[in-house]
Structure 1
Amino acid sequence: MNYFTIFASKNNIDDMEFKITDVFAKGFAIGKNENEYLLKSKALFKKHKLIIRVMSEDTNPEYFVNNIPGMMGYYNNIPFEEDPLKELVLTQISVLNTVIAIESEKEINEDQLLLFTDLLSKIGGIGFLPNGTLLDDEGAVIVYPDGKSGPSNFRPQACTHKVMGQEVSSEEGEQRKNNTIAYLKERVIPYTASLPQLPPIEDCQFKTQEDIARRAVALLIVIQFACDVAQGGNVEESRDFFVNMLRTYKVENYLTENERDFLQALEPDVQEAINISWQYEAYWTLIWALGFVEELDFPDEVCDCEYAIQVVSNCETFEQFYLQAGIRSQEEILDEADKIYRYHWACVDSRIQERPAPAGMNESIVMERRRGLFWLIGHRNEEWDTISMDT
């Protein structure tokens, strides 16, 4: 192993030089070129060199655009043995904005690893090993590459810039936020006034009716295949049938990369199948937006899966399905997105406090509906499989 990476959520990187010097000055001569540090060991024998690169969303925005969605997708696909831990990890990844990448000239030894974890503890955040193992800021394993939980009692950390500071305030957004909070008060559901506004309508990138319709049909077909896999059905027969359905409805190009990989896998992962089957709730928001569902009920019971299937199965072609659809107003969709955002905060807060979700909410339903609604409004222009779940 020649690499060790620290990911963090920081308001700035002004103190990084001090932290790096504090950890390494005793054993290394340290040179600096902007945000790159060259470390040469002071030992007479076993000379060693390290390069430490410090990057933030401000200094290297392209790194985060290109790598964080992939990191989110990677851990989303790992079969965590504890679903709550998976959500905590994905939440942490969603608010990362700082990277300290350590490259060693030689294989990293135990003494150097101790130095790296010391730096990790001073910076805060998570440590990433090349095999996919994640460490907390005390060096304890959060999760192994196979999804097995480590001994860490991990809780995400987020800087105020990621949680609050990047908010663009608007009168419309504030009114929508206040309306949702008034609704939550009526139902005695916890809330926090510090949770940011969602953008106003003019700053959203709403999906078109056709995009929503094709995504809905493609997703429903993949969900049906996932249900067969989860129930131990004949994978080959099921795959052939549902691939043919994708072609019949002309929606093959509306699969996500993860869905395509799952559909093509020789031995589809059962846990991934279960995760995809939960996306009935995300699909439910899509057919609500298309007018097939009258209203989004409170997220305490799963949707009507039989009706959800019939919405598409009663149509022989995509064109027939599309002609029956409409599109809800952007105001309605954004109002529901704001509501689910604040529902999710209430669920996460209750879980952290080791209390049941308020008002009987099911957090898995809330998360999947958030996926669908945030995709509909084009939140941060995120892709379906990497919708951030930060609260």
Structure 2
Amino acid sequence: MPYFTIFASRNDTRDIDALIHETFSGGFKVGGSSPEWVIQPKGWFNKNKITIRVASEDSDPDYFENNIPGMMGFYQRIPFEDEDLQYRVLTQISVINTMLAIETEKEYGQDYLKLFADLAGKLNGIGFLPDGMLLDGEGKVIVTGDGKSGPSDFRPFACTRKIRGEDKSSAEGGERKQRSIEYLKEHGVPYLETLPELPPLEELAVKSREQIARRAVALLIVIQYACDVNQDEDLSESKAFVKNMLDKFGVTEELTEFERDLLEQSEPDRQDAINLVWQYEAYWGLLWGLGLLEELDFPDETCDCDYAINVVSSCDSFDEFLNKTSIRRPEEMLDEADKIYRLHWACVNARIKGEEAPAGLIESVVLERRRALFWMIGHRDEAWNDISMNT
């Protein structure tokens, strides 16, 4: 059967019934109720029945747990013509919590497509076609399945439940937030007073020293392969070296699925490699968490790659590296995570306005530091490649 899927970020699904009836009020008979509607055309000649099934994180959490990370990975791997558009698409996917699966008995035409897109618009959602194309609420193409930008002026939308789910006040969180704001003021960085507090320490699952060290070593090693991909080096020799180093330090199992895929590709995607090289900045954050940097400097310049490599390459084993480390106090990690969260908002806010990032901030550096810091504090217990970047 032909398919069209709507993905959205919704506080709840109680208004979907009314929106479906409104969308198909002309020329259709709407039957059923949540979570499944059957929509029959009233005309004599149009007999293409429509079925709409709704799922949400509340009604079907397994669907979202199993499918959204895959969707995120798919659009991470696509070679977008516009990196900023890719960021906006990934931001939207990160806050999806509602799905409408639409099936028709026969192939549908532009008349049905317009109705489906209209419903997506009413839901502040995006339309997904089986070939990977995304449409906005006006039926305009956001991006094709091979990364070509469409005419849509797409901006992500997140419901308050998704972006402010952690918006709980506590004395600890309030004090931390104010310290971060003072830090931003000192550096001349705009801030959003209503940006939520991060959860208190007692609600987080901070990673252990060994967990952080293993992630750091594995990441550094696979980044070297990504660098060779970018520089058109002999990849067979590079791959052999990287796999040997992973075995030597005993961290092969610490690779993410994305990193494994890059290593196994016969012709690695250059954009994937570029994205991974930027994770030097995330690795830099891990080194700070392991006490191997005195402080995390203001993120207006890239890290010292020579030092970043030497801190591991000077060791003959993982244990030797681990013995050089001394994990930061969880309170320090949470303080830095709160600061980078607010710095990230300032970068995104400037980009949306078409302005340069304030105070010389480099958004890619900020984003990757956030990845490392949020992962170390166990924010929402998200995996390395699934750290939500909403602001």
TM over 0.5: yes
Q: Which segment drifts farther, 52-61 or 111-120? A: 52-61
Are positions 1:369 and 2:369 aligned together?
Answer: yes
Please give the alpha-carbon distance, in whole angstroms, between the structure 2 residues aligned to 1:39 and 1:141: 25
Are positions 1:212 and 2:212 aligned together?
Answer: yes
Contact 1:164 1:194 survives alignment (8 Å): no
- Aligned pairs, how many? 391
Please give the alpha-carbon distance, in whole angstroms, between the structure 2 residues aligned to 1:347 and 1:182: 17
Spell out the pairing of 1:1-391 with structure 2 (5 A cutoff).
Answer: 2-391=2-391
Q: CA RMSD in A?
A: 1.3
Contact 1:30 1:38 survives alignment (8 Å): yes
Q: CA deviation at 1:304?
A: 0.1
CA separation of 1:383 and 1:74: change in aligned 2, threshold 3 A: same
Which 5+ residue runs of structure 2 have no aligned equivalent? none
Q: Show CA shifts across 1:145-204 (max 9, x none).
A: 111111111111122222225523322111111111121122221111221111111111
Contact 1:89 1:156 survives alignment (8 Å): yes
Please give the alpha-carbon distance, in whole angstroms, between the structure 1 residues aligned to 2:97 and 2:259: 28
Please give the alpha-carbon distance, in whole angstroms, between the structure 2 residues aligned to 1:386 and 1:163: 15
Please give the alpha-carbon distance, in whole angstroms, between the structure 1 residues aligned to 2:62 and 2:194: 28
Q: Show CA shifts across 1:238-285 (max 9, x none).
A: 101111110111100000001001001101111111110000000001
Please give the alpha-carbon distance, in whole angstroms, between the structure 1 residues aligned to 2:164 and 2:211: 31
Q: Show CA shifts across 1:289-310 (max 9, x none).
A: 1111111001010000000000
Q: Show CA shifts across 1:200-256 (max 9, x none).
A: 111111111111111101000110000000001011111011111101111000000
What TM-score do you get using the length of structure 1 for normalisation? 0.97
Q: CA deviation at 1:46?
A: 4.4
CA separation of 1:209 and 1:166: change in aligned 2, threshold 3 A: closer
Which 5+ residue runs of structure 1 have no aligned equivalent? none
Q: Percent identity between the aligned chains?
A: 59
Please give the alpha-carbon distance, in whole angstroms, between the structure 1 residues aligned to 2:79 and 2:232: 17
Report the secondary structure of 2:153's partner residue.
coil
Q: Which segment drifts farther, 193-202 or 158-167? A: 158-167
Please give the alpha-carbon distance, in whole angstroms, between the structure 1 residues aligned to 2:166 and 2:293: 34
Q: CA deviation at 1:110?
A: 2.2
Q: CA deviation at 1:77?
A: 1.6
